[in-house]
A = this chain, B = another copy of it.
Amino acid sequence: MDQRTTMAGYQAAAERALDAWLPVATDAPQLLHEAMRYAVLGTGKRIRPVLVYATGQALGIPVTALDGPACAVEFVHAYSLVHDDLPAMDNDDLRRGRPTCHRAFDEGTAILAGDALQALAFHVLVTDAALNVPAMQRLAMIEALAAASGSQGMAGGQALDLNAVGAKLNAAELETMHLWKTGALIRASVKLGALCLPEIDAETLAALDSYAKCVGLAFQVQDDILDIEGQTEQIGKPQGSDLARNKPTYPGLLGLDGAKREAERLLADALSSLELLGARADFLRWLAHYIVKRDK
């Protein structure tokens, strides 16, 4: 099976599991449930769930045991997109080519859908019966997700981003912002996949975390590059929207060529982190390439 087929299989598994964990739209409160489902289903590359599946499968965990953690990270990611798109934050009308949640519903419903999706992520990690690990390890997964989502994780990175509009950040500040804003949840995705193995050792966990840290930053660098080079129809948001908004970006700091070299360097570091895992990490290697080379 080639890697693209593997990837498509993981994406399909994520889609099924997300649908199953989401509240059904006919249960009250219906509008909120519709908004939650709209925010999560039908679109998205599912990079974070795929990272959970890829990491877990590299360690020999069956896909079904990885569904819950894959959904938990995607619910957190989806809630963050809903909140980031709000008028008080990035004020985006389009997300993945569709109206953003607050445009399709209303602002209040979008805020609450995000809030409920965060709670749902933790509910999944506690109650997922297919997750076959000791209770202590389940707690470690919940903590990984809570830390990645919090004030020195995703929410903190978005706060830095919000206050960085029009500001001049140096390379270290830009890296901190992205390590928190997107990096933390990408690292949590890999960590949750790894923690699905009951007897995971510290060395493997550290190697995977190093991989995830590099992939997370590379993902952001490529995002910034695509914001300049990509077409609106491919990336689903108006091209150059970060520049137009005067947000600090890697191309803005390093130049376009410098940003491309930075992405290559991070890719190389990600790959070298995986050495001790051998051939079983081949899909994780392909995925790092995919994330850095993607055109949308």
Contacts and interface: CB of A to CB of B under 8 A. Distances in A.
Interface in A123-141: 123, 126-127, 134-136, 138-139
A222 B111 CA distance: 27
Contacts of A162: 108-109, 112
A143 B127 contact: yes
A251 interface: no
A215 to B, nearest CB: 22
Interface in A157-175: 158-160, 162-163
A120 B138 CA distance: 17
A157 to B, nearest CB: 8
A32 B162 CA distance: 11
A33 interface: yes
A149 B115 contact: yes
A107 B86 CA distance: 10
A119 interface: yes
B107 A126 contact: no
A155 interface: yes
A32 B126 contact: no
Contact of A120 (B27, B80, B146): B146
Interface residues of A, number: 55
A29 interface: yes
Contacts of A147: 119, 123
A31 B158 CA distance: 12
Contact of A112 (B32, B145, B155): B155
A84 to B, nearest CB: 9
Given A126-B143, A135-B136, A146-B120, A112 B31 contact: no
A80 B127 CA distance: 24
Nearest to A147: B123
B149 A119 contact: yes
Contacts of A150: 116, 119-120, 123
Contacts of A108: 86, 88-89, 159, 162
* Minimum-distance CB pairs A-B, first 5: A88-B107, A135-B135, A119-B150, A32-B159, A116-B155
9 contacts: A27-B152, A28-B156, A29-B160, A31-B159, A83-B115, A86-B108, A86-B111, A114-B115, A115-B155
Given A88-B106, A118-B118, A135-B138, 16 more contacts: A28-B152, A79-B115, A80-B115, A88-B102, A88-B108, A112-B162, A114-B115, A115-B149, A116-B150, A116-B156, A119-B151, A119-B153, A120-B146, A123-B143, A123-B147, A134-B135
